[in-house]
């Protein structure tokens, strides 16, 4: 029989905890590496000019010059798209993880709070009623500013009135969420129920417009709702990317609050020094902003925000200090894989990423859930 | 023994329904105080007022002389730890991580050696070593309850507030958990516990003091043998009883057959 000395069990437990954490960090790093490899592969693939990974990497790192057309396609077309896939996947996955934790509900996705329905309403208004007051207002303001400060550059507010309108209406929903957060006695369920109500209301308005729409308008809206990465130009990619990068560290700061809230609910959270109402409010504002920012450009992509956090939980558990980065990487990975398949499977036709995500990611998600029951 | 908590004229109502009515008491260091009363007497509500989960309508609660309504939530959680009857959640973590949440008020982001070792020590002390890396949601009700108690112990507060800590435990575990709580409260200076509990014999065996709550008021407050009299028990629980002093020196309350 082994003799256990006093203190030995304690050291053993502490060591095991450290080992487990190290194991998780290694898994996250490997997943990150995997994402980089797939990103390089994705950069080489398309409807024309297919490059192997080595050549792609060499041209990117300027070790090899490559032909002009190769450079052009790579830098002008594929780099922004792949970077945007990573940004959108990361942002939506983090938004999903935050919302699930703050609301203590595993069924929640970035679409739950109605932000995306708001965006859809904005897009529909832009298409059907030609209500593009947001972009007009911005242009007017900008023109005013350039008159006052002549050195400011003259920029036009991106061809896409649709995106701006979608973003504006998504922000309106974010505003409703902020207002709701200040109502006394608001619970996690209140947010979800209000989200569902917003979804119904916005949906009904869109459906009414659809009822009177022409075939061309219908096709435009359907196209928007598919979820696509094709609507952004390289400048917008950096703007959205910057905003996502700015918002992510904030969410990491709240990891412990999310751990406490998601594991034990409101009363338990209070006993650990977390104010559930205030915490939930700030987390939902941040995550709905992230969602609004991305969904306005991409259209309806919700699945990645539901699946990536759950896939991460299967691997590293529910500790948000690790769950947020792991979900981000899973989100990027899923988005990259779905988009690459969508771009190549029946090239030159490009299938929308939103559809591919559900078609490819859905079965994978179900398989992982079923085979991993009982494990992290 | 110096005073940890003082409650004066505490009142709480849900709408027009007065649940807690002018409650006064003091909790001193190294004291284990049980709150007894029938269902709906206001035991849980009282504990939730003490931990600021509910905001009282009237009265004043101080801990170490400081008014708790003026303390931040983080400071409050360092001074006292509330343990709910049970927790249900859709997400899960390893037992070690759940107990580590007790250190949340002290941790900024990364877990220091001191916090980690304190959790390991608590797990060892509470006899949870075999569960340490099992998933919390896969434990039995009793095991979960012990984990949540261990979380409160790891939090290292001055005052523990337990809402029926033994409700899901079997007989052996009830005694073991109460012994452990008794030990923590007696040994560590500057600690005390207020426990809402149903089992009058467990309460009488482990408590220094019992407060009998009836219709929102404390009708008796003192040593178990003084509070758990047949008259008080009949008034509150509507059953007749007698006190029996065992040869082991433990007071037992025997409920008479006719109800």
Mean pLDDT of A186-196: 90
Given pLDDT bands bounded at 50, 70 and 90, which one contains residue A159?
Answer: very low
Q: Which two tokens stand for residue B35?
A: 């709150």
SS3 A63: coil
β-strand pairing of B159-163 with B192-196:
parallel
Cβ atoms of B223 and B217 within 8 Å: the answer is no
Closest C-alpha to A174, from A262, A294, A257, A266: A294
- Choose the closest CB to A262 out of B91, B133, B152: B91
What contacts A364, CB < 8 A, 6 or more positions away?
A: none
Residues 182-201 of B with CB under 8 A from A: none
DSSP secondary structure letters along A210-240:
HHT--HHHHHHHHHHHH--STT--HHHHHHH
Residue of A295 and A35 predicted with greater confidence: A35
Chain B CB contacts of A106 under 8 Å are 90-91
Residues 52-111 of A with CB under 8 A from B: 100-101, 104-106
CATH number at residue B113: 3.40.50.300
- pLDDT over threshold 50, residue A154: no
Mean pLDDT of A136-154: 64
Residue of A185 and B69 predicted with greater confidence: B69
Which pLDDT score is estimated for A250? 87
Closest C-alpha to B182, from B151, B155, B203: B203
Is there a domain that residue A52 lies in? no
Number of A to B CB contacts under 8 A, please give it: 123
SS3 A55: helix
Which pLDDT score is estimated for A158? 47
- pLDDT over threshold 80, residue A49: no
Lowest-pLDDT choice from A1-5, A77-81, A193-197:
A1-5
CB contact under 8 A, B77 and A273: yes
Is there a domain that residue A69 lies in? no
> A221 is in which domain, residue-wise?
83-371
**Mean pLDDT of successive 10-residue segments in chain B (259 residues)?**
90 90 92 92 92 92 93 93 86 93 90 91 90 90 89 93 87 88 85 93 93 92 91 89 84 78
Closest C-alpha to B131, from B40, B122, A233, A66: B122
Which pLDDT score is estimated for A224? 80
> Cα(A261)–Cα(A272) distance, rounded to whole angstroms?
9
Q: What's the gap in Å between the CA of B223 and the closest CA on chain A? A: 29
Share of chain A above pLDDT 90, in %: 35
Is there a domain that residue A241 lies in? yes
> B244 is in which domain, residue-wise?
3-255
What contacts B252, CB < 8 A, 6 or more positions away?
A: B201, B204, B243, B244, B245, B246
Total domains present in chain A = 1
- pLDDT over threshold 50, residue A3: no
Contact of A253 with chain B, judged by CB distance below 8 Å, is answered with yes
Cβ atoms of A174 and A93 within 8 Å: the answer is no
DSSP secondary structure letters along A266-282:
HHHHHHTT--HHHHHHH
CB contact under 8 A, A321 and B109: yes
Chain A CB contacts of B88 under 8 Å are 265
Mean pLDDT of A21-25: 94
B184, B185, B191, B197: CA torsion to nearest 10: 120
Share of chain A above pLDDT 70, in %: 89
Which pLDDT score is estimated for A186? 84
> Cα(A94)–Cα(A309) distance, rounded to whole angstroms?
8
SS3 B7: strand
CATH number at residue A279: 1.10.3470.10
- pLDDT over threshold 70, residue A320: yes
Lowest-pLDDT choice from A3-7, A322-326, B192-196:
A3-7
Chain B CB contacts of A19 under 8 Å are none
Which pLDDT score is estimated for A355? 87
Cβ atoms of B129 and B96 within 8 Å: the answer is no
Closest C-alpha to A170, from A282, A328, A354, A294: A294
Is there a domain that residue A346 lies in? yes
Burial B152-184 (b: 16+ CB within 10 A, else e): bbbbbbbbbbbbbbbbbbeeebbebbbebbbeb
Total domains present in chain B = 1
Mean pLDDT of A36-46: 90
Which pLDDT score is estimated for A149? 62
- For tokens 């592969």, the residue is A41
Residues 64-123 of B with CB under 8 A from A: 73-74, 76-78, 81-84, 87-94, 96-98, 101-102, 104-105, 107, 109-110, 113, 116-117, 119-121, 123
- Choose the closest CB to B116 out of A17, A100, A268: A17
CB contact under 8 A, A259 and B101: yes
Is there a domain that residue A242 lies in? yes
Contact of A13 with chain B, judged by CB distance below 8 Å, is answered with yes
- pLDDT over threshold 50, residue A243: yes
CB contact under 8 A, B120 and A376: no
- Choose the closest CB to A317 out of B48, B93, B121: B93
SS3 A309: helix
Which pLDDT score is estimated for B31? 94
CB contact under 8 A, B92 and A263: yes
End-to-end, the C-alpha distance of chain B in Å comes to: 41
- pLDDT over threshold 50, residue A345: yes
């Amino acid at each position: 029989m082994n003799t256990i000395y006093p203190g030995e069990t304690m050291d053993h437990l502490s060591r095991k905890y450290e080992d487990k954490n190290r194991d998780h960090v290694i898994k996250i790093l490997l997943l990150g590496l995997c994402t980089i490899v797939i990103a390089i592969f994705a950069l080489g693939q398309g409807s024309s000019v297919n490059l192997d990974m080595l050549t792609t990497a060499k041209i990117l790192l300027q070790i090899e010059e490559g032909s002009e057309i190769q450079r052009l396609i790579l830098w002008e077309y594929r780099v922004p798209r792949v970077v945007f896939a990573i940004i959108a996947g990361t942002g939506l996955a983090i938004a999903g993880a935050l919302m699930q934790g703050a609301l203590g509900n595993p069924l929640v996705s970035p679409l739950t709070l109605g932000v995306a329905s708001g965006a859809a309403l904005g897009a529909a208004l832009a298409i059907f009623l030609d209500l593009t007051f947001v972009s007009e207002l911005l242009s007017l303001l900008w023109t005013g500013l350039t008159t006052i400060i002549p050195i400011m550059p003259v920029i036009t507010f991106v061809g896409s009135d649709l995106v701006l309108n979608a973003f504006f209406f998504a922000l309106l929903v974010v505003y409703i969420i902020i207002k709701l957060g200040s109502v006394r006695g608001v619970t996690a369920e209140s947010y979800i129920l209000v989200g569902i109500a917003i979804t119904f209301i916005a949906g009904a308005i869109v459906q009414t417009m659809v009822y009177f729409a022409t075939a061309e308008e219908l096709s435009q809206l359907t196209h928007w709702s598919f979820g696509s990465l094709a609507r952004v130009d390289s400048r917008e990619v950096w703007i959205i990317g910057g905003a996502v990068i700015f918002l992510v560290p904030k969410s990491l700061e709240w990891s412990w609050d999310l751990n406490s809230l998601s594991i034990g609910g409101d009363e338990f959270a209070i006993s650990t020094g977390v104010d559930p109402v205030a915490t939930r409010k700030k987390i939902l504002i941040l995550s709905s902003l992230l969602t609004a920012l991305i969904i306005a450009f991409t259209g309806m992509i919700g699945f990645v925000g539901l699946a990536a956090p759950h896939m991460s939980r299967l691997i590293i558990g529910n500790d948000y200090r690790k769950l947020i980065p792991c979900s981000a990487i899973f989100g990027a990975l899923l988005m990259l894989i779905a988009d690459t398949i969508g771009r190549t499977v029946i090239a030159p036709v490009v299938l929308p990423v939103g559809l591919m995500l559900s078609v490819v990611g859905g079965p994978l998600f179900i398989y992982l859930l079923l085979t991993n029951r009982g494990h992290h | 023994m110096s005073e940890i908590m003082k409650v004066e004229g505490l009142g709480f109502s849900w709408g027009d329904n007065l649940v807690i009515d002018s409650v006064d008491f003091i909790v001193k260091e190294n004291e284990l105080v049980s709150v007894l009363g029938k269902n709906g007497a206001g035991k849980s509500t009282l504990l939730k007022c003490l931990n600021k989960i509910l905001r009282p309508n009237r009265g004043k609660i101080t801990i170490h002389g400081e008014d708790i309504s003026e303390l931040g939530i983080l400071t409050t959680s360092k001074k006292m730890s509330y343990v709910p009857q049970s927790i249900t959640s859709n997400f899960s973590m390893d037992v070690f991580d759940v107990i580590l949440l007790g250190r949340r008020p002290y941790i900024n982001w990364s877990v220091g050696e001191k916090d980690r070792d304190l959790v390991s020590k608590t797990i060892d002390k509470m006899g949870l070593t075999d569960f340490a890396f099992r998933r919390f949601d896969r434990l039995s009700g009793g095991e979960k309850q012990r984990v949540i108690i261990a979380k409160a112990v790891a939090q290292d507060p001055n005052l523990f507030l337990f809402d029926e800590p033994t409700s899901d435990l079997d007989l052996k575990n009830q005694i073991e958990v109460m012994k452990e709580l008794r030990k923590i409260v007696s040994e560590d200076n500057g600690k005390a516990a207020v426990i809402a509990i149903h089992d009058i014999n467990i309460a009488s065996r482990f408590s220094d003091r019992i407060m009998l709550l009836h219709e929102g008021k404390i009708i008796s407050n003192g040593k178990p043998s003084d509070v758990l009299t047949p008259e008080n028990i009949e008034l509150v629980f509507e059953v007749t009883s007698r006190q029996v002093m065992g040869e082991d020196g433990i007071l037992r309350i025997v409920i008479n057959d006719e109800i």
